[in-house]
Every structure is written in structure tokens, then in C-alpha cells.
Amino acid sequence: MSHLFSSFQLRSVTFKNRIAVSPMSQYRAKNGLSNSWHLVHLGRFAIGGAGLVYAEATAVEKEGRRTHGDLGLWDDKQIAGLKEITSFLEAEGAVPGIQLGHAGRKASERRPWHNETPVDDEDIRDRQEYPWTAIAPSAIPYADGWPTPQEMTVADIDRVIQSFGEAARRSYEAGFKIIEVYAAHGFLVHQFLSPIANQRTDEWGGSLENRTRFAVEVANSIRANWPTDLPLAFRLSATDWLDGGLEVDDTIKISRALKLAGVDMIDVSTGGIGGKERPRRMVIEQGFQTPFAGQIRETADISTMGVGFLWDAEQCEKLVAGETVDMIALARELLDDPNWPLKAAKLLGDNQHHELAPIEAGWWLMKRHRLLSKLGLR
């Protein structure tokens, strides 16, 4: 058996293989509520053989949404729709995961196909979607042309930490088996971690230890509301790619602190903090973020997930076999082909006769395979 298709365990949860569906915002929710789009979007990845299916960035507070279309778990009413999704994913053999987040100064943003700029008059006119005031560790706009967010008071900080805990309780009630905190790509937890967005002078800013405090308290709050036998992960931006920003050595220290707070896996991405400068140091190539995952895994002694510009099954196999990562996550490749895991398993020799596909498809594919072989057609 390949390494990619070997099982993996975190706490009491076993993933049947090392392939995760990376969280992908759909911008299709209304008032944070999921609908049949989310069920079909996520369900097809379970049918396609992924071991872990993460639901998209889900806001722990209404004001913490990035866009009007984000999913939310700030209200018990949002549990039932998600429960239907987790039941389906589990029945098809995938572990249902959820990414919890707060957008901070990136809140009140337009959808990607409307340029990811702040919500404006066009949204009000075309969709009756109104802007709202964002909060952040410091009153520094995300980028040029963005409104200045409100600096969070200590009461705001305490409330958001508590909201993460309440959303964790709802995640459990909705049937999720792993939570990932969105602490990357310039969202609120990352804003606290990075000196580019956090210029506070109280105990929540300044030294790396102070900047890490919010992430640790979020982990503590989740752990207080989430069963001990279920895993907790964090997605971090290993580097801001900017002078004066987070570097991988900082991220290693952050990972150690998170491990002590009960975090089991770091999903290693990079970038996205915003600011005036372009991240010139960033060079994109296949799997370009995975060396950071390897470094964090080895130095902070914590499981890692590799993500970003991965599509080649042999390369993913090497990353797991070489213990650079414990799992890999794919986003765009799976949008292109939700059956990527089944095809990767075929390529690696673990799914020769379609035995890993759901029987409703696998039985027919196996029969066709035999017939085509007999006829010498394929």
C-alpha cells in the first residue's frame, strides 16, 4: 500500500487516507446558513475518496464574516444544516472537518469575482448587501483603499475568544470530528500573530509571546468546549514573505505554544497579511509551501498538513513517505476533479479494480475494466 493511502490517526479519529479537502469558501450562504449547495459541493469530495473533508471558513461571529456569503456558526440555528452535511460525509467514509475563523480587518469584503475589495455601493444596489465596521488588533487598514478597522478593546478580545469556544460546541453538535482554526491568510488570528497587523502595546501585542496569546487563548477556549478525544488543528501562514513580518522561526515557536494548548496538527500555508508591500520574496512553484511544513514538523514535533500548488500524486506520495507532512490538502485540483483521490490511488496501485470507489460506481467500473481488458480495447 502507498503511504498516501495508509490511514492516519489523531486522538480518536482515524482518517482512511492522507488526503484532505482544503477549506474552500463558496460565498453561497445566507445569514451564515448552509444549503444544498454546500451539501453537494462537499459531498462530491467524500464520494471522490478524500479522507478528510473540511468545510469552508466559518465565522464565529456575524461581524467576523469575510463576505455576506460566508458560512457561520454564531447561532444554534446554523447547526441543523451542517449536521445534514456531516452525516453524509461520514456515511461516505470521510471525516467531516470545519474551519472556524474571524475575518478581523478583512471583514466586509466583496466576493472574489467582485475583486475582493471592500463592500461598496454596487453591492447595496445589486444585492442589498451593506458594509459593516471591521475590528482588528490595531487600527491599521488591510491595504490601500480599505477602511480603518476599529482597534479591539480587551472586552472585544475576550468576547471573540469566547465566540470561538461557543462555535466549537456547535461544531460538535453539528457532527464535525476535527476543527481547524483559520490563523493564516491575514484573518483575525493571523492579524494578532503578525507584527505587520498587530502594533498593540498591551499584553496582546509587542513580543512574539504576547502576539501568540490570542491564538493560544482561542485554542484554550475551543479545548474547553470540544471533546478531548477529538483533534484540533490550526492553519498558519508560516511566513508573511515580508521583512518585518512573521518568519518560519516564529511559526515554529507559535506551533510549540499551540501544541501545549492541545493543538494536534498545523496546516502550513503562507502569506496574505496584506499591507502596503507586495510579498516579493514569494516564489510560487509546485508544493512551494511544503518545506515549511517539514521544518515545523521536525522542529516543533507536531503533525503537519502540506498545502498549496499540489496536484501530482507521486509528489504527494513522496511528501508523506518522506515524513515532510502527515497529510496533504488540495483545493483547486479537487475543484477540477473531485475524484482525484480515486485516480491517485489507481496510479499508485491501491485502486486497480475500483475497489475504493463507492460500490454504486465501483461495481460498474470494475465490470467495464474486465470487459475492456478481455476485448483488448484498454
Q: Which is nearer to ligand FMN, 59 or 242 (CB)?
A: 59
Contact between residue 56 and residue 23 where contact means Cβ atoms under 8 Å apart: yes
Q: Which is nearer to ligand FMN, 302 or 328 (CB)?
A: 328
Q: Which is nearer to ligand FMN, 99 or 138 (CB)?
A: 99
Q: Which is nearer to ligand FMN, 68 or 185 (CB)?
A: 185
Smallest gap from residue 345 Cβ to ligand FMN (A): 18
Q: How far apart are CA 131 and CA 110, in angstroms?
A: 9
Q: Please, what sign has the CA dihedral across residues 75, 77, 81, 82?
A: positive
Contact between residue 224 and residue 162 where contact means Cβ atoms under 8 Å apart: no
Smallest gap from residue 218 Cβ to ligand FMN (A): 15
Q: Which is nearer to ligand FMN, 172 or 309 (CB)?
A: 309
Q: How far is CA 326 from CA 22, 23, 228, 256, 343, in A?
A: 14, 17, 21, 17, 20
Q: How far apart are CA 305 and CA 133, in angstroms?
A: 34
Smallest gap from residue 203 Cβ to ligand FMN (A): 28
Q: How far apart are CA 298 and CA 62, in angstroms?
A: 38
Q: Which is nearer to ligand FMN, 41 or 297 (CB)?
A: 41
Report residue 331: phi and psi, to 5°.
-120, -80
| Beta-carbon contacts of residue 1 (< 8 Å; ≥ 6 apart) | 350
Smallest gap from residue 235 Cβ to ligand FMN (A): 5
Q: How far apart are CA 49 and CA 200, in angstroms?
A: 45
Q: Which is nearer to ligand FMN, 8 or 234 (CB)?
A: 234
**Unique residue bearing C-alpha cell 471573540:** 160
Q: CA torsion, points 273, 25, 226, 261, in degrees to nearest 10?
A: -20
Contact footprint for ligand FMN (CB under 6 A): 22-25, 56-57, 99, 182, 185, 235, 269, 307-310, 330-333
Smallest gap from residue 335 Cβ to ligand FMN (A): 6
Q: How far apart are CA 90 and CA 13, in angstroms?
A: 12
Smallest gap from residue 249 Cβ to ligand FMN (A): 22
Smallest gap from residue 209 Cβ to ligand FMN (A): 25
